[in-house]
Homo-oligomer: A and B are copies of this chain.
Amino acid sequence: LKKRLLGPCVTFFPQPATLIATRDNDGKVNLMMASWVGIVSKTPPTIAVSLHHNRKTLANILDTGVFSVNTVTSQIAAAADACGLVSGKRADKRLLTGLKIVPGVLEGTPLVAASTLNVECRYQRLVELGDYRLVMGEIAEIHACDRAFDDQGQGNVQVFDPLVYLGGLREYWSLGEKQGDAYRAGLAFLDQEEA
* Contacts from A to B (Cβ < 8 Å): 1-16, 33, 36-48, 50, 69, 71, 74, 77-86, 91, 96-97, 105, 113-119, 127, 129-132, 134, 136, 138-147, 149, 154-155, 157, 160, 162-190, 192-193
Contact of A144 (CB < 8 Å), options: B11, B40, B139, B193: B11
Contacts of A142 in B (CB 8 A): 5-9, 11-12
Contacts of A2 in B (CB 8 A): 145-147
Contact B78 A143 (CB under 8 A): no
In whole angstroms, what is the CA distance A97 to B171 when docked? 32
Contact B96 A167 (CB under 8 A): no
Contacts of A138 in B (CB 8 A): 8
Copies of this polypeptide in the complex: 2
Contact A3 B145 (CB under 8 A): yes
CB distance from A29 to the nearest CB of B (A): 16
Contacts of A10 in B (CB 8 A): 39, 42, 45, 139
Contacts of A127 in B (CB 8 A): 127
Contact of A173 (CB < 8 Å), options: B136, B178, B187: B178
In whole angstroms, what is the CA distance A45 to B10 when docked? 6
Ranked nearest first, the 4 interchain pairs of A and B with the lowest CB-CB distance are A176-B176, A82-B186, A43-B130, A81-B186
